[in-house]
């Protein structure tokens, strides 16, 4: 079964740091571009970042650029999001998601995890 | 930045047809993907590349894209179709960024 499981979400103070993880299983992880997407409570979906299958390309939403860093470890079938200088507006459920096709960037997201909640509050 | 506009809500009676629009500048030149999200659940892909359906998605779900509007059509609506729906494209004008629409709440009367 294809599965993505996020972890690492907690309550953190403004200005703090956090690292989210996403464990992948059931597919050839290093063939797919991976993404982080977030959803603030009661709000819509917001794309956050992507990383290519080999880690060679990364892109970020303007709202997180310079503060968040996406990475992956293909030997561990894992995706990460390092979040620094956190703001209250970063409070959201963070999903990891995979591209629908192998070795094709900027694609549809066919598999999503259940999300991990990040709350930024003093 | 590229903006996708959806109606906040659409109401439809069971058995009828729901149409959800997604407006964007020359969106017909982009590939549009659609997601369904039920309360407390992760989004599910229902249409990709404008009109393709992933395996397991009923034929009642279809999509089209032309000009400045993409449309998700749900035929013979069922109570289980009640959910939020989001369109999504890639904006590669200056950098590569994913863009989601504002979302549409579909209510089955």
Mean of pLDDT over chain B: 96
Contacts of B94 in chain A (CB under 8 A): none
Q: pLDDT tens for residues A11-29?
A: 999 999 999 999 999 999 9
Using the Cβ of B95 and the Cβ atoms of chain A, whether some distance falls under 8 Å is answered with yes
Q: pLDDT tens for residues B73-91?
A: 999 999 999 999 999 999 9
Q: Are B33 and B48 in contact (CB under 8 A)?
A: yes
CA nearest B98 in A: which residue? Answer: A47
Using the Cβ of A105 and the Cβ atoms of chain B, whether some distance falls under 8 Å is answered with yes
Mean pLDDT of A49-67: 95
Mean of pLDDT over chain A: 96
Does the structure show a pLDDT above 80 at B40?
Answer: yes
Strand partners, B87: B34
Using the Cβ of A47 and the Cβ atoms of chain B, whether some distance falls under 8 Å is answered with yes
End-to-end Cα spacing for chain B: 36
Binary contact (A62, B96; C-beta < 8 A)? no
């Amino acid at each position: 079964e294809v599965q993505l499981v996020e972890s690492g979400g907690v309550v953190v103070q403004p200005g703090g740091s956090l690292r989210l993880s996403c464990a992948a299983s059931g597919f050839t992880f290093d063939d797919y571009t991976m993404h982080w997407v977030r959803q603030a409570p009661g709000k819509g979906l917001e794309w956050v970042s992507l990383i290519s299958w080999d880690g060679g390309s990364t892109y970020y939403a303007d709202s997180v650029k310079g503060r968040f860093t996406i990475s992956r470890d293909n030997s561990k079938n894992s995706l990460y999001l390092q979040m620094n200088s956190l703001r209250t507006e970063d409070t959201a459920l963070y999903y990891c998601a995979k591209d629908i096709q192998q070795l094709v960037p900027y694609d549809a997201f066919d598999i999503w995890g259940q999300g991990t909640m990040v709350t930024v509050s003093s | 930045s590229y903006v996708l506009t959806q109606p906040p809500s659409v109401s439809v009676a069971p058995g009828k047809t729901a149409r959800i629009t997604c407006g964007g500048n020359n969106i017909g030149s982009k590939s549009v993907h659609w997601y369904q999200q039920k309360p407390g659940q992760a989004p599910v892909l229902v249409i990709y590349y404008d009109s393709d359906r992933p395996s397991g998605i009923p034929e009642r779900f279809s999509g089209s894209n032309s000009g400045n509007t993409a449309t998700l059509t749900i035929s013979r609506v069922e109570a289980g179709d009640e959910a939020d729906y989001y369109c999504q494209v890639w904006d590669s004008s200056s950098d590569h960024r994913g863009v989601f629409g504002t979302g549409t709440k579909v209510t089955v009367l």
